[in-house]
């Protein structure tokens, strides 16, 4: 096996990606691969670092080679790991610069982000889930507090569906107008958009259709996005709104089941009067998160995919996690492909979550065994060195395929 030298660029500067980059680096090192991380997003700094280190591979978080701010030499293998629908502002699926990477990993199905692997046939496409740092998220024989539930995550601030700036015209054509509140109503009340049921393209199509109907025009999704430009309303519509309904239902279900609810995350939860009393603050440290997972009877997750870092880290810490059934995810990438419902985690339907919680409240022995099973399964196959091994395997396959591919002979030299 080749000894690769890998440089990871986590150049968006948030704590989540920086921690992930450092954890992946440790996974590579454990597998005997030389790996460095670099956090300066400027093109000149990246190019200088590449010139100094001469890596074999550059792995960039949330950006393809074509989108990179730096000029990365073509002889260096470029790996893109797409975590979000956008770079910082630009949607990947509508960005003509997207492409050029040798391997493209996505955190969940690429189609959720609107990406089409068939349009980039020269790249190897895989789903790469996050790993678990089992030094931080390790099993401890702790008895969780009775009748407790936790939600660790984000909810947007409430929105008002009428009056004020929400009803001011966003766009006007020939004296016909469309307001932000019109788009809110379409997504939230008519389509009932949910991150577990709708990817970015369907949501953008709903928005475009509403604009076309209101203004009597015919534009496509790309034109719609171009019209919004950098307006934060679009991010609110396509990323924030799909989270709200399910998170409200999840919190309500915990209370209906008679559980003592603790909510951890950004203080936007305090903006919701019905949930402010349950807000416990922001868990800044991974050890604090691990303690919450272990010491809570039921940890609740909902989102676009089950193999979320929150879910995996909770399992690694020996917490019992409930995961929403996902209706759009490829079965090969669902949590049920890697773990067993009722043995490692608990699957639920959003509408019947309270009933599922009541069922498991009555099964403390099975719940204790589930927590232990989950931690063992994470250690066996879902640590960061397992993820780095997947990447190394893909690199070896890429190198072997390139070695077998005959060089193209220019026409002028063919005779």
pLDDT score for 13: 65
Rounded to an integer, the average pLDDT of 338-362 is 98
Kindly tell me if the per-residue pLDDT of 2 is higher than 90: no
How far apart are alpha carbons 213 and 208 in whole angstroms?
9
pLDDT score for 396: 96
How far apart are alpha carbons 344 and 367 in whole angstroms?
9
pLDDT score for 413: 40
Question: What does the pLDDT look like over 275-285, one tens digit per residue?
Answer: 999 999 999 99
Encoded tokens for 228 = 């919004």
Rounded to an integer, the average pLDDT of 165-194 is 90
Kindly tell me if the per-residue pLDDT of 163 is higher than 60: no
Angle at 19 between CA 51 and CA 31, to 5 degrees: 70
Q: Report, at the CATH architecture level, how domain 145-157+242-382 is classified.
A: 3-Layer(aba) Sandwich (3.40)
Could you give the C-alpha distances from 398 to 23, 129, 405, in angstroms and in order? 24, 20, 11
Question: What does the pLDDT look like over 47-79, one tens digit per residue?
Answer: 999 999 999 999 999 999 999 999 999 999 999
Sign of CA dihedral 66, 69, 75, 77: negative
How far apart are alpha carbons 122 and 104 in whole angstroms?
10
Q: What is the average pLDDT score of the chain? A: 93
CATH 3.40.50.2000 residue ranges of the chain are 145-157+242-382
Question: What does the pLDDT look like over 228-261, one tens digit per residue?
Answer: 987 788 999 999 999 999 999 999 999 999 999 9
Question: What does the pLDDT look like over 79-114, one tens digit per residue?
Answer: 999 999 998 789 999 999 999 999 999 999 999 999
Contact of 195 with 303, CB cutoff 8 Å: yes
Residue with the bigger pLDDT between 364 and 406: it is: 364
- Predicted model pTM: 0.93
Rounded to an integer, the average pLDDT of 332-358 is 97
pLDDT score for 407: 57
How far apart are alpha carbons 315 and 345 in whole angstroms?
8
How far apart are alpha carbons 196 and 244 in whole angstroms?
11
Question: What does the pLDDT look like over 290-330, one tens digit per residue?
Answer: 999 999 999 999 999 999 999 999 999 999 999 999 888 89
> Which is it for strands 103-106 and 77-82: parallel, antiparallel or unpaired?
parallel
How far apart are alpha carbons 47 and 261 in whole angstroms?
49
- CB 347: neighbour CB atoms within 10 A? 18
How far apart are alpha carbons 330 and 337 in whole angstroms?
10
Kindly tell me if the per-residue pLDDT of 11 is higher than 80: no
Percent of the chain exceeding pLDDT 70 equals: 95
Of the pLDDT bands very low, low, confident and very high (cuts 50, 70, 90), residue 7 is: very high
How far apart are alpha carbons 36 and 26 in whole angstroms?
9
pLDDT score for 12: 66
Kindly tell me if the per-residue pLDDT of 372 is higher than 80: yes
How far apart are alpha carbons 375 and 315 in whole angstroms?
5
Least confident segment among 11-20, 39-48, 57-66, 215-224? 11-20
Rounded to an integer, the average pLDDT of 356-367 is 98
Phi and psi torsions of 125, nearest 5°: -110, 130
**Which CATH number applies to 5-130+385-404: 3.40.190, 3.40.50, 1.10.760, 1.10.357?**
3.40.50
Of the pLDDT bands very low, low, confident and very high (cuts 50, 70, 90), residue 415 is: very low
According to the 3-state scheme, what is the secondary structure of the chain? CCCCEEEEECCCCCHHHHHHHHHHHHHHHHCCCEEEEECCCCHHHHHHHHHHHCCCEEEEECCCHHHCCCCCCCCCEEEEEECCCECCCCEHHHCCCCCCCCEEEECCCHHHHCCCHHHCCCCEEEECCCCECCCCCCCCCCCCEEEEEEEECCCCCCCCCCCHHHHCEEEEECCEEEEHHHHHHHHHHHCCCCCCCCCHHHHHHHHHHHHHHHHCCCCCHHHHHHHHCCCHHHHHHHHHHHHHHHHHHHHHHHHHCCCEEEEECCHHHHHCCCCHHHEEECCCCHHHHHHHHHHEEEEEECCCCCCCHHHHHHHHCCCCEEEECCCCCCHHHCHHHHCCECCCEEEECHHHHHHHHHHHHCCHHHHHHHHHHHHHHHHHHCEHHHHHHHHHHHHHHHHHHHHHCCCCCCHHHCC
Least confident segment among 140-144, 221-225, 230-234? 230-234
Kindly tell me if the per-residue pLDDT of 410 is higher than 70: no
Rounded to an integer, the average pLDDT of 340-368 is 98
pLDDT score for 412: 41
């Amino acid at each position: 096996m080749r000894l690769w030298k890998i440089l990871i660029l986590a150049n968006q500067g948030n704590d989540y990606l920086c921690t992930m980059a450092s954890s992946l680096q440790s996974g590579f090192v454990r597998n005997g691969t030389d790996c460095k991380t670099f956090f300066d997003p400027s093109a000149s700094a990246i190019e200088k670092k590449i010139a100094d280190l001469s890596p074999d591979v550059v792995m960039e978080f949330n950006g393809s080679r074509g989108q990179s701010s730096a000029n990365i030499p073509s002889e260096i293998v470029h790996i893109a790991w797409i975590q979000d629908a956008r770079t910082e502002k630009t949607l990947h699926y509508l960005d003509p610069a997207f492409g050029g990477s040798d391997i493209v990993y996505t955190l969940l199905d690429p189609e959720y982000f609107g990406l089409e692997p068939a349009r980039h046939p020269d790249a190897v496409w895989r789903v790469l889930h996050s790993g678990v740092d089992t030094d931080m998220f390790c099993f401890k024989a702790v008895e969780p507090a009775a009748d407790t539930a936790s939600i660790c995550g984000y909810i947007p601030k409430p929105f008002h569906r009428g009056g004020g700036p929400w009803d001011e015209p966003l766009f006007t054509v020939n004296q016909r107008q469309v307001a932000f509140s019109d788009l809110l109503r379409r997504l939230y009340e008519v389509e009932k958009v949910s991150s577990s049921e709708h990817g970015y393209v369907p949501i953008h199509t709903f928005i475009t259709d509403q604009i076309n109907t209101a203004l009597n025009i015919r534009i496509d999704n790309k034109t719609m996005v171009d019209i919004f430009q950098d307006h934060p309303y679009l991010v609110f519509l396509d990323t924030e709104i799909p989270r709200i309904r399910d998170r409200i239902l999840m919190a309500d279900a915990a209370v209906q089941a008679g559980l003592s609810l603790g909510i951890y995350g950004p203080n936007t939860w305090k903006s919701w009067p019905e949930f402010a009393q349950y807000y416990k603050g922001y868990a800044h440290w991974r050890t604090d998160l691990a303690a919450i997972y272990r010491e809570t009877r039921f940890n609740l997750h909902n989102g676009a995919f089950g193999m979320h870092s929150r879910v995996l880290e909770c399992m690694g810490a020996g917490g019992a996690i409930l995961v929403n059934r996902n209706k759009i995810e490829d079965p090969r990438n669902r949590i049920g492909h890697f773990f067993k419902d009722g043995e490692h985690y608990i699957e639920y339907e959003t509408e019947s979550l309270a009933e599922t919680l009541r069922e498991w409240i009555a099964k403390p022995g099975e719940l204790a065994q589930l927590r232990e099973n989950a931690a063992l399964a994470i250690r066996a196959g879902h640590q960061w060195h397992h993820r780095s091994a997947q990447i190394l395997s893909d690199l070896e396959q890429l190198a072997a395929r390139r070695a077998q591919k005959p060089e193209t002979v220019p026409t002028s030299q063919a005779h």
